[in-house]
Amino acid sequence: MPLRAADAVGTLGTDADRPLTGEWSEARILRWLREDDEPRLATLWQAADTVRRRTVGDPVHLRGLIEVSNHCARTCAYCGINARNTALRRYRMNHAEIMASAQQAVGLGCGTVVMQAGEDDGIRADWLADAIRAIKAEYGLAVTLSLGERLVDELAGWREAGADRYLLRFETSDAALYARIHPPRAGRTCDRFAILGTLRALGYEVGSGVMVGIPGQRYESLARDIRLFAELDLDMIGVGPFVPHPATPLGGAADAADATMDQVPNTAAMACKVVALARLVRPDANIPSTTALATIDRVGGYAAGLRCGANVVMPNVTPAEYRRCYEIYPAKVCLHDEFTATRAALEERLGRLGRYIATGPGHRLRGC
Ligand code: SAM
């Protein structure tokens, strides 16, 4: 019989202040976020890894990331492709380039492509629907979209065209912080939680998540974010450290963050705590070891994520000339480069962690 998250967590001697019921209150999550004792943290990694193995298992799903466009209408204070960054060369991939990237994803062993972009009105609904249909027909891949806050009709049309999943991070549940870093578009409201509900109603698998260590982010709000992962019943949870981009209002701000406040650090260790807790509160979700984690810990980032609860990695199959321009933060590591672009190299790297490449589309296996 599969072990429930509660059982695995029940082996944690570190939660000794109360019986281990497997219930994840905000207070309990908060205690783990503040935990700095290495031996205790080792038990957290181990508990998350145990739950990961008993639920989604050792296969690692590869999602081929296609950064379709770096045009963006938004002025997010954290993101290097925001509309105010005039130094950036802008691009939008064409249909043939997208298909070539999808083919490359198939060659690597990906069961899914993730089409991601800035909030780009130049990505027309019918044009993208054609691309979705073509990828499904030609390669049979699952299609995930990550295109920001699009209109309901667009989301519905893409679902009808065959898109399987949608990723939209809520970034932080602290409404005041969110308003500061993610100004709404003129004439529109900006409610990512409402859009997540719409996506669910349309039949998408729904992914969301947060950045860890945004300047101004407090421990309490991060604990609430993690509770929300469970309450929203997310199919996919993406968590990465905030990486400052010098051409943004928050560039360099992490160092300058108010030392008097209860600031969450944007460290690899903190990101790993959030990945591990995400696995424990939402045992059957698909959780990537993210590029941002690998960027701030270039040696061990990917492996660390996979060891503390993650079961997905996202090789970047965007053409190199565009990849350089999709600079949401500087010095972004690309799994695809790192792994010398072959399936064998990926297999070898995962094999060293006792893991292997998954087959199939990698939908969420509910209640596994
Ligand atoms: N426009 C879409 C959206 O907003 O969801 C997708 C593209 S956006 C660049 C994808 C994700 O990149 C965001 O959800 C955010 O969490 C992450 N991101 C952007 N800037 C970042 C930064 N400086 N550090 C870490 N992650 C960042």
Q: What is the pLDDT of residues 280-327, one digit of tens each?
A: 999 999 999 999 999 999 889 999 999 999 999 999 999 999 999 999
6 within some domain:
no
20 within some domain:
no
* DSSP element (H, E) containing 8: helix 5-9
308 within some domain:
yes
Which of the four pLDDT bands, split at 50, 70 and 90, describes residue 16?
very low
Domain that holds residue 240: 25-356
Which residue in this structure is represented by tokens 């963006």? 72
The domain total for the chain is 1
Q: Which residues pair with 208 in a beta bridge?
A: 237
Per-residue pLDDT tens for 60-98?
Answer: 999 999 999 999 999 999 999 999 999 999 999 999 999
340 within some domain:
yes
How many whole angstroms separate alpha carbon 46 and alpha carbon 42? 6
104 within some domain:
yes
116 within some domain:
yes
Which of the four pLDDT bands, split at 50, 70 and 90, describes residue 17?
very low
From the alpha carbon of 241, which atom of ligand 1 is closest?
25
366 within some domain:
no
Pocket of ligand 1 (CB under 6 A): 78-79, 116, 118-119, 146, 148, 168-169, 171, 211, 240, 242-243, 245, 292, 328-329
242 within some domain:
yes
* DSSP element (H, E) containing 167: strand 165-167
Residue identifier of the C-alpha nearest atom 8 of ligand 1: 118
Torsion 140-141-142-147 (CA) sign: negative
Kindly give the distance from the C-alpha atom of residue 180 to the centroid of ligand 1, in angstroms, as a whole number: 15
How many whole angstroms separate alpha carbon 236 and alpha carbon 294? 19
- CB-CB contact of 220 with 261 (8 Å): no
- Supply φ then ψ for residue 288, to 5 degrees: -80, 150
Residue identifier of the C-alpha nearest atom 13 of ligand 1: 169
For residue 270, give the CATH number of its domain. Answer: 3.20.20.70
Closest listed residue to residue 315, CA positions, set 81, 135, 113: 113
From the alpha carbon of 244, which atom of ligand 1 is closest?
23
CB atoms within 10 A of CB 321: 10
Kindly give the distance from the C-alpha atom of residue 157 to the centroid of ligand 1, in angstroms, as a whole number: 24
Q: Which residues pair with 236 in a beta bridge?
A: 207, 286
